[in-house]
Amino acid sequence: MWTLVLDGMLRQFFVTGALDFTYPDGTTRRYGPGQGADAHLIVTDPALLRRLVLSTELALGEGYMDGTVQVADDDLDAFFTLIIRNIVRFDVWWRRLGVRLRRAKRWIDQNNPAHRARANVAHHYDLSGALYDLFLDADRQYSCAYFARPDMTLEQAQDAKKHHIAAKLCLSPDMEVFEIGCGWGGMALTLAQDYGVRVLGVTLSTEQHKIATARAARAGLSDRVRFELKDYRAVSGQFDRIVSIGMFEHVGAPHYGEYFDVVRDRLKPDGIALIHTIGRVAPPGATSPWIAKYIFPGGYCPSMSEMAAAVEHANLYPTDLEVWRLHYAETLRHWHDRFTANEYRARALYDDRFCRMWRYYLKCCEHTFRHNRQAVFQMQIAHRADAVPLTRDYLHPASAQRQLRAAE
């Protein structure tokens, strides 16, 4: 029965390219109009067929982790390219149904009060610190890099990201900056060292807090940078600038209003905030059940409409919006390649199942950015319309000066 149902689903799903699918009994069938197979999936566990019908994304990811789903030659690039291109072209009824059911319950799944937010953060960010050393840059930037030039190394692109954000903050020495979600401290240390500001960074990860605090001490910046193990909602006072990089994805849709109310209340009347987040260039949706279970519990990437509505209700003024296309795909490609090169070390820390999970996560996310409607939003917001210069020339002063000289 389950073979017949799954066969019908796959026949509906593939409208471009072709997939060879080998069933547990050894039978191979081709799905899609392509002349040759773009990818080949092999399922060895008969019990998995039922789960693939009832919860396709979750069962597929778990099967790959367990080794009961194999991709020929382990070519995840070809597999995810084929799958996501078909998702984009034709969203079949059974997939739409799953998304609607997840959206209906996301107010439960994404309800992240402080205690639950802390547990969600620990699930991912309190993994062994040695794991992140295997694939991140030396500064441990775990968010989208900015490839201002295509030949940039990961280190150069992550450094470019930090300074691009700093330019949007319009910093002056001794300003007070509040960083919501400080990670391992790299952004805060850069702002203090290169721009002379004072930073309060908060995180819910004990591992990140420990490392960030130690880094500040080693850099001799403990008098200018303070890291606290605290929920962003528990911070008091007001700041000249607020920056949040890769944290808004963990807030959860039920808390968007609360988040931007905090930004409003913590920001001085002439202050500027910069929110950098993954977003969907599409209407509101739902998080993949596999990602929610194994990678980012409680997480959700907002649509622009959801984010903008919360900003409006907080009575904040959006002063700039930039959409980064494909930068995260390139960032994830670098991370995957570095992780793969060091996979034997990851296996020593965890096991083969974990390594398969991590590779699946990095490749799935890379191709979601590459082929689906996912990007990075950088929203600059303030209380006042004149909080920042009226043109973007301040971001590239050398270019602006050349334009002025040419006009003379």
pTM of the model: 0.91
Tokens of 224: 């200018």
37 with 30: CB under 8 angstroms?
A: yes
Return the exposure string of 294-315: e unless at least 16 CB atoms fall within 10 Å of the residue's CB, then b: bbbbbbbbbbbebbeebbeebe
Q: Would you kindly state where each structural domain of the chain is located, as residue ranges?
A: 2-104, 112-403
- 2-104 classified as CATH 3.30.1050: yes
Which CATH code fits 112-403?
3.40.50.150
As given in the structure block, the two tokens for residue 400 are 């602006």
Tokens found for residue 64? 């790959």
Residues 113 and 251 sit within 8 Å (Cβ to Cβ): no
Which residues make Cβ contacts (< 8 Å) with residue 386, sequence separation at least 6?
Answer: none
Tens of pLDDT along the chain (408 residues)? 899 999 999 999 999 999 999 999 999 999 999 889 999 999 999 999 999 999 999 999 999 999 999 999 999 999 999 999 998 876 766 666 666 766 666 666 666 677 666 776 666 666 778 999 999 999 999 999 999 999 999 999 999 999 999 999 999 999 999 999 999 999 999 999 999 999 999 999 999 999 999 999 999 999 999 999 999 999 999 999 999 999 999 998 889 999 999 999 999 999 999 999 999 999 998 889 999 999 988 889 999 999 999 999 999 999 999 999 999 999 999 999 999 999 999 999 999 999 999 999 999 999 999 999 999 999 999 999 999 999 999 988 655 454 445 545
Three-class SS state of 132: helix
Active-site annotation holder among 182, 301, 355, 365:
365
365 is catalytic: yes
Domains 2-104 and 112-403 share a fold: no
Q: Under a CB-based contact definition with an 8 Å cutoff, are residues 283 and 303 in contact?
A: yes
